[in-house]
Chain A
Amino acid sequence: MSFYQYKDTIEEGDLVFAFISRGTIKPIVITRDQQLNTRYGHYEHNDMIGMKYGQQMAGARGYGFIHLLHPTPEMWTLSLPHRTQIVYTSDSSYIMQRLNVVAGTRVIEAGTGSASFTHSFARTVAAEGRLFTYEFHEPRYNEAKRELEEHNMTGNTLITHRDVCNDGFELDNIPENFQHDGGINGDVIFLDLPSPWTAIPHLNSVISQTSRVGICCFSPCIEQVDKTVKALQDEGWTEIEMVEVAGRRWEARKDMVKDIKDVVKRLKDIQSRKNQGIENRRHAKVKSGEKRDHDQVDSGDNGSDSDKKFQNLGKGFNPFGKGIRVREGDDGFEWRNVTKVEGEVKSHTSYLTFAYKIPVPS
């Protein structure tokens, strides 16, 4: 059960995530005599067998490398084939925390979609919990069902092909080990449906009748929230609150420290060189339009030791590497650490409408 437990060594038949780059994580099943081909080299499955999870692997032709990672729901979320808009970790982690999803919780999810949240739920409810997931779109259902089987997740996850909005959640033949008091008895409901308000009235018969039940409806439009809230009120749900989660990823970068004293010093230097006509000769040496790495530039006379950080910078005083290609963090310059938010922010995923239902005292 790879999504439920770690192992250390890669074996034939294992699901492995080949981490190629941040944006490219490829799930592969280790099969003898197969090869993983990427822009960054070729990798023999045979060579992966016996390697440790987490190991870096060099390309078969001597260039490129990948990391071989163990499956986790979070890696799966980053790698999975998108069949629908997926629920990202900032949303899913908050929903599980707020609704107190822990080992043993019984969860109802509709629809399954790309099964991203399904993996996360299944991990967290663990062997003693149960996940009932419903998908009405048949090809997506088949895909997800196959995935759950391949990932050995059917021990605690039951997928059903069903339009819950019209046909409700009740199941005729619940496997014995999925029953609780003879039924589904959900503790936590997650509805990621176009019209959750049509599904909400069907919930009463499949939720716990003895303890508090939590729900989260996941809808992108405020009009959907409006209808959902009304449906929840009508069905006796309380503590209704809608929130949205803003998730951001920050990148660590370096920014050059440019001291005004050095700017002034450089300007003086240029001025004095101009006067001597040296500036013109330097231009003749550099091919126009083409930038060079700073370490390719002649270092000229090494200058005094006190100015060591500006050595290798070519003729003249050039504290910020003007005219040459400088990479972030290159030696010879002064840097400070800064953060930059990811290039494209998920500014809106969906509205999350939470509510609770308390069984009526008997």
Chain B
Amino acid sequence: MTEVEIPEVTTSSDESTRIIEKSSKIITAYQHALIRLPSEGLKIVQLRPDGVISLGKFGSFEVNEILGFPFGQSFEILENLKVKPTKSISQLHDDGEAGENSDEAIEDVEKEKDELTKMFSNSAEHNQNIINIGSKIQKLSNEEIDELKKSGATSKIGQTIIEKMIAGHEGFEKKTIFSQQKYLKRKQQKFLRRFTVEYLGASQLLQYYIEKDIQRVLDMSEESLGLLMTYANIRPGGRYLVIDETGGVILYAMMERMKGQGSIVLVHDNEHPNIIALRHSDYPEESINSMIKTINWLQFVEPDNEKIDWEDATAEELEEMKPSKRAQYDRRSKRAHEINEVINIVQEGNFDALVSVSSLHMPTLLEHVLPTIGGSRPVVIYNQFKELLLETQHFLMSDKRVLAPSIFESRVRAYQTIPGRMHPLMTMRGFGGYVLWGTRVIPKESGVQAIGRGIIKRKREDTPSTEDEKSDKKPKEE
């Protein structure tokens, strides 16, 4: 991200409660949204009616201008904080009125092609005649560009600058059409005042953090997030045990898939959980609180010590309390009930999945966690380092309570997507993390006799130890 960071708009609880049901389809007041800039920069903004959103050098616009359009719509900034919808963020010339039916849409495409040809009327077949003389090739000076910029912050000016730059570029005609297109795209990213407003889904939130602070999401890629959600079988009505050290990105992804049905117990290693990412979620605080229960590791590991001995005061006692005392009593009562409730939920166990995105040492942690996961439910563990999952997998293989644990890696490779000129992009992100998936099972204590080499020998012995059974039971599937 290159543009200037603008202070983030924060949600006051007063405003967030105004959202009764958030829309994932229509740009709606008070919601948060992701803004995609031509520079490929990302911003999260809250859409306060009558508010003004500044996109730094790309200009500013009034929130009311974009409300009611579908999410995914691109806009172009005009003068006086106005915008107009535009077909896409990078389309070359746009006369504003997008076609009303597909015929006109096709005309638009044709028109765009014509514009391209006009601009690139002279291109070279190859790059043989290109001589690198640096910035001297551009006759338009920086001062002149600044002058133009001052004349107004609209895309029209941006367009004019680009046209003048092309006209002032002595070597432009010596470029091939491909390189001319790339040049144009670069200049558009710099001078066009366009943006796209996207629904802030889990993928968008993750993408935002990847750009802003990859460590916060532990290097996780979108494809790894997808694997986590799918292997953990996340759906409405589930009861999940979650360790989320991303500040709530995982919780948000789960809540999006659960649509308010089911429950999540979040185990955390501080006194208070960090769920900062949920401030962008637009879920009312009450529904977050009713769906997500939090418990710290001390309470999780030593539930009996940490349960609060609490007796509700009688009606008479309440009557006698002074207002200040009463407030204190209510706070304590609420806390005690909340803590005891979540401890009870954990002690009851039988969770529908373990979803772990954590830097904690898994083998020691799993000793405490595995008994709470229900039979035949998925155990899904993310880590940015394969080696740490390897250690976990070895632990699980000898433990026997998780069946067929495997480490999965998923990497998405993007292509330059132009007909006739498809090829993978030259670089891609090299990280993205790994996902371990297994199924919680209930091993038989005794009387299990594996088939395999050594069976006859072992029949002569008294009781086979469980350790030996699995190792030589079945042929390796390779």
Binding site for B on A (CB under 8 A): 4-6, 8, 19, 21-23, 39-41, 52-59, 62-65, 67-70, 72-74, 89-90, 92-98, 100, 102-104, 120, 123-124, 126-128, 204, 208, 210-212, 222, 225-226, 229-230, 233-236, 238-252, 254, 327, 329, 337-339, 342-343, 351, 353, 356, 358-361
Contact = CB atoms under 8 A, between A and B. Distances in A.
A359 B27 CA distance: 13
Contacts of A338: 390
A252 B413 contact: no
B259 A243 contact: no
B377 A54 contact: yes
B167 interface: no
A228 to B, nearest CB: 9
A120 B230 contact: yes
Contacts of B335: none
B440 A54 contact: yes
Contacts of A247: 408-410
A313 B433 CA distance: 41
A339 B390 contact: yes
A4 B233 CA distance: 9
A93 B230 contact: yes
Contacts of A329: 471
28 contacts: A52-B375, A52-B442, A53-B376, A54-B440, A58-B448, A59-B449, A63-B450, A64-B449, A69-B441, A90-B227, A90-B410, A93-B229, A93-B231, A94-B226, A100-B256, A102-B257, A127-B236, A204-B102, A210-B26, A242-B417, A243-B413, A243-B415, A248-B409, A248-B410, A250-B406, A252-B393, A351-B415, A358-B74
A58 B444 contact: yes
Given A96-B226, A245-B410, A360-B99, A252 B397 contact: yes
A212 B25 contact: yes
A140 to B, nearest CB: 24
Given A64-B451, A65-B448, A97 B442 contact: no
B201 A100 contact: yes
A246 B393 contact: no
Contacts of A251: 406-407
A125 to B, nearest CB: 9
Interface stretch (B65-73, B133-141, B172-180, B288-296): B65-73
Given A94-B222, A127-B236, A240 B417 contact: yes
B366 interface: no
Contacts of B227: 89-90, 93-94
B1 interface: no
B223 A97 contact: yes
B174 to A, nearest CB: 29
Contacts of A55: 375, 441-442, 444
Interface of B: 24-26, 69-74, 85, 87-88, 98-100, 102, 105-106, 109, 199, 201-203, 222-223, 225-227, 229-231, 233, 235-238, 256-259, 261, 350, 352, 374-378, 386-387, 390-391, 393-394, 397, 403-415, 417-420, 422, 434, 439-444, 447-451, 455, 471-475, 477-478
A236 B105 contact: yes
A41 B451 CA distance: 9
Contacts of B448: 56, 58, 65
A2 to B, nearest CB: 11
Contact of A103 (B73, B233, B259, B378): B259
B235 A8 contact: no
A337 B394 contact: yes
A29 B416 CA distance: 48
A244 B424 CA distance: 9
A337 B390 contact: yes
B403 A19 contact: yes
Contact of B25 (A120, A124, A210): A210
B434 A250 contact: yes
A126 B236 contact: yes
B90 to A, nearest CB: 9
Contacts of B238: 6
Contact of A94 (B70, B397, B412): B412
A63 B449 contact: yes
B376 A98 contact: no
Contacts of A230: 419
Given A53-B375, A53-B376, A98-B226, 17 more contacts: A6-B374, A56-B441, A58-B449, A63-B449, A67-B441, A90-B408, A93-B223, A96-B230, A100-B199, A226-B420, A236-B109, A241-B414, A242-B415, A246-B412, A249-B409, A337-B390, A361-B85
A212 B409 contact: no
B474 A40 contact: yes
Nearest to A69: B376
A98 B203 CA distance: 6
Contacts of A126: 235-236, 259
B225 A248 contact: no
Contacts of A236: 99, 102, 105, 109
Nearest to A53: B376
A212 B51 CA distance: 25
A103 B236 contact: yes
B455 A63 contact: yes
A351 B71 CA distance: 26
Contact of A8 (B100, B201, B350, B394): B350
Nearest to A19: B403
B403 A67 contact: yes
Given A74-B231, A96-B226, A250 B386 contact: yes
Nearest to A250: B407
Nearest to A244: B413
B457 to A, nearest CB: 9
Contacts of A235: 102, 105
